Structure 1
């Protein structure tokens, strides 16, 4: 079996902990590596917030630098929630920015957001059997 961990680079660790606690209902479990990493629990997989300064090297062997300007990567977080409207209100109050929606889909409802650090994330509320509603 493979174990899955989620790691998010953030420029301000305390702000990120507060955001994900308030917006996603996660809880701080502990700090690691001399306080430069926060482990959050409350999801099916652990979420690690890694303090990384803006402009620091993203990968040692490349010229890529961390940039926390708004961005969307092919990999993002989807948070499945019981009540999209309540979850959206919490996320916005915690500092998220609404990028799309909420929209109604055959499988449920969707709101596209950006966290305070530029990362894209979606809130999903299932309808009926969720994605199975549209499976072939």
Structure 2
């Protein structure tokens, strides 16, 4: 079975560390040189990686990094015990809530953008969780 870790590019490593530790209660693990910090406290480690705006997104070129609000088909969802408390912490840390908090068959969810344009969700599962959606 493969392991999982999450990498999040940020233009300012200190600002990224401040946001993710305050918004989600993550703690700093290791630091790697001056451009990577490991955050712990979630199911998988999160690595913030300093990447300047305008830098190439990969070795074969393509688009340049842009930290304005953007959409990507892959984004982290963080499960929380109390959504109202988690929303307040995320907003106080600088997140922008996008839309209203939703009540869904599996619980409650709120969608956000971090200060670097990355989308993420906070989810408070009810007792059924995603089983409320399962068809078999």
Q: TM-score range by the shorter chain?
A: over 0.9
Shift of 1:114: 0.3
Residue number in structure 2 paired with 1:86: 85
Per-residue deviation, residues 22-67 of structure 1 (Å, max 9, x unmatched): 11111011210x2200001111111000000000011121232000
Aligned twin of 2:21: 21
Over the aligned positions, Cα root-mean-square deviation in angstroms equals 0.8
* 1:103-118 map, 5 Å: 103-118=102-117
Aligned length: 135
Q: Distance in 1 between matches of 2:71 and 2:5?
A: 20
Give the C-alpha shift of residue 16 in structure 1: 0.5
- 1:36-115 alignment, distance < 5 Å: 36-115=35-114
**CA separation in 2, counterparts of 1:79 and 1:134?**
19
State the alpha-carbon separation in 2 of the partners of residues 100 and 121 from structure 1: 13
Report whether the alignment pairs 1:6 with 2:6: yes
Structure 1 ranges of 4+ moved more than 6 A = none
Shift of 1:98: 0.5
Counterparts of 2:61 and 2:50, CA distance in 1 = 20
Alpha-carbon distance between aligned partners in 1 of 2:59 and 2:2, rounded to the nearest angstrom: 26
In 2, Cα distance between equivalents of 1:63 and 1:85: 40
Report the TM-score, using the length of structure 2 for normalisation: 0.96
Q: Output the TM-score relative to the length of structure 1.
A: 0.96
**Runs of at least 5 residues in structure 2 that lack an aligned partner in the other structure:** none
